[in-house]
Amino acid sequence: MTLKLIVLACLLAVAHSRVFNTWHRNPLIGARILGGRDAKPGEFPHQVSLQWGSGGKFEHFCGGSILTERWILTAVHCLEAIDRINESGIKGYFVVKAGKQDLNRVEDTEQTSIVEKYFKNWDYTGVGAKPGSSDIGLIKLETPLRLNKRVTKIALPGKDTEPTGETILSGWGAIDDGEENAGFPHILQTINLPILSRENCQSALEELIPGSGKNVDDTNICTGPLTGGQSPCNGDSGGPLTTKNGKGETQVIGIVSWGLSPCGSRGAPAVYVKVSHFIDWVSAIMDKN
């Protein structure tokens, strides 16, 4: 099967029609982690589900991370999906759900807050289906989350720190290859993934699709393994890639951004926003708003 450049974006069905489409060079919104396992209840209390809908019926389309009671970290291309829905004239609400494990049922631990406003990094270079750098956005909630052991903040990394080693990814993205009939899990998934050097990442992408390596720069992180079968996929977009910091706290080092289709293809890395590169931007937006 021919690999196609994609951005990690999920298939969000709205009013029985797809407002944005599949993996053929589209943002990766939706899908489950390929090759992962079910997360334990409360294992990732910083993880949120971005959802859109109305009349009490909402659909997951992207992930995010809790920075404070009112601020959520995610990917710009997830927010642009909401822009497209708004431009279409379809009525509904953009909400964040925290404390979630199972998307198919109402849980005692869950909290829902309507999005008050959102902010897209002004240097984002993505255009339509073309992946771009600076794919980092912030969401401000209308109602603050109530922090507890099932809804917690995640730490930010030090400015310009360079992550290495093993990471942990979590999300509700596709659990198969992300093609047309992708299967989406209702239970939160997780997997451990190794970080690749930028040089190895660019080289791997170039081997599969000449020219695609130039889409990775010093604002990105890449993960393997290049043996295939383990990867974020549609619906994981905007979600956190994490490690532990020196204090033993969980920190968000990456935001799921884009990859190649089919998900988990042999030789294909996954690409994330490197959060440490954007600490000043995150602080400025939160301080001024």
* pLDDT tens sequence across 240-267: 999 999 999 999 999 999 888 788 889 9
Q: What letters, b where the CB count within 10 A reaches 16 and e where it falls short, cover 102-125?
A: ebeeeeeebbbbebeebbbbeebe
Q: Answer yes or no: do 98 and 193 share one domain.
A: no
Q: Tell me, what DSSP letter sits at residue 151?
A: B
Whether 267 is in a domain gets the answer yes
If one counts every other C-beta atom within 10 angstroms of the C-beta of residue 265, the result is 20
pLDDT tens track for 122-161: 998 776 556 778 999 999 999 999 999 999 999 999 999 9
The CATH number for 129's domain is 2.40.10.10
In a domain, 36, yes or no: no
Both 134 and 191 in a single domain? no
Residues 93, 126 within the same domain:
yes
Query: Taking 90 as the threshold, does the pLDDT of residue 26 lie above it?
Result: no
**8 falls within a domain:** yes
Q: What is the DSSP letter of 233?
A: -
Report the range of poorest mean pLDDT among 130-134, 229-233, 271-275: 130-134
Query: Are 202 and 51 a contacting pair, CB within 8 Å?
Result: no
Write down the pLDDT at residue 116: 98
Q: Which residue has the higher pLDDT, 188 or 129?
A: 188
Domain membership flag for residue 159: no
Are 185 and 126 within one domain? Answer: no
Asked if residue 215 and residue 103 are part of one domain, the reply reads no
Residue 98 · residue 79 · CB < 8 Å: no
Co-location of 86 and 203 in the same domain: no
Which are the catalytic amino acids?
A: 77, 135, 237
Number of domains, the chain:
2
For residue 161, tell me if it sits in a domain: no
pLDDT value, residue 270: 93
- Residues 120 and 209 occupy one common structural domain: no
List C-alpha distances in Å: 222 to 6, 108, 178.
15, 36, 19
Which residue range(s) make up the domain with 136? 4-30+45-153+282-288
CA distance 70 to 68: 5
Is 126 inside a domain boundary? Answer: yes
> Residue 37 domain-assigned?
no
Residues 16 and 119 in one domain: yes
- Same domain? For 171 and 146 the reply is no
Identify whether residues 149 and 8 lie together within a single domain.
yes
Q: What is the pLDDT of residues 38-72, one digit of tens each?
A: 999 999 999 999 999 988 889 999 999 999 999 99
Higher pLDDT, 154 or 21: 154
Mean pLDDT of the chain: 86
Is 251 inside a domain boundary? yes
pLDDT at 11 over 60: no
Q: Which band of pLDDT confidence, cut at 50, 70 and 90, is reported for residue 23? A: very low
* 137 and 213 part of one domain: no
pLDDT surpasses 90 at 103: yes
Q: Are residues 206 and 135 in the same domain?
A: no
